[in-house]
Structure 1
Amino acid sequence: MNWKAFFEELQQLMNDSNDKMTQYPLVSEEYWVWFINEVGLIAKKYNDHPLVWNFLNSLVDFQNDNYKQVVNEGR
């Protein structure tokens, strides 16, 4: 397992996510379709390693919490 490559890819995903949110808001379906697809591609690239999934799930949870915060602020 090439952890250095994985963490570089994880960092790139986070940068790409920031860029994507300039095109689509965090609460948009377009953003989430893109984001979840990217997460899945990374997981597959690293053979669905359980620890890879733990890191990716943490990132998804973080974005989901941000989503909830944005939605709740809009109420």
Structure 2
Amino acid sequence: MDYQKFYAEVADWINQCNQMAVSHGMQSNEFWSWVMRSTGELSNKYQNNDLVKMQMIMLVDWLKGIYENR
């Protein structure tokens, strides 16, 4: 697995996530639908590698924490 490529995509995903949060708000269905769809797509892209799955789960948990503590 190309770890540099993957983590560059993670950084890009975080930037896109920030844009989605600004555009739609973290409380919106659009935001959370995008989060779930995009994390699945990225995991699938890397054949559901365990590291990739755990990274994406961690990012979703991070977002849920931000949402719950705002």
Q: TM-score, normalised by structure 1?
A: 0.89
Q: Structure 1 or 2: larger helix share? A: 2
Bigger Rg over Cα: 1
The answer on 1:58 being equivalent to 2:64 is no
Structure 1 unmatched runs, 5+: 71-75
Deviation at 1:69, TM superposition (A): 1.3
- Tell me the secondary structure at the aligned position of residue 22 of structure 1: helix
Q: Deviations over 1:11-59 (max 9, x none)?
A: 0000001111121111111100011101000000000001111111110
Cα distance in structure 2, aligned partners of 1:4 and 1:21: 26
Runs of 4+ in 1 over 3 A off after TM superposition: none
TM-score by length of 2: 0.95
Aligned ranges for residues 1-75 of structure 1 at < 5 Å?
A: 1-70=1-70
Give the distance between the partners of 2:54 and 2:9, measured in 1 at CA: 15
Percent identical among aligned pairs is 26
Q: What 5-or-longer segments of structure 2 have no aligned partner?
A: none
What's the Cα RMSD here?
A: 0.7
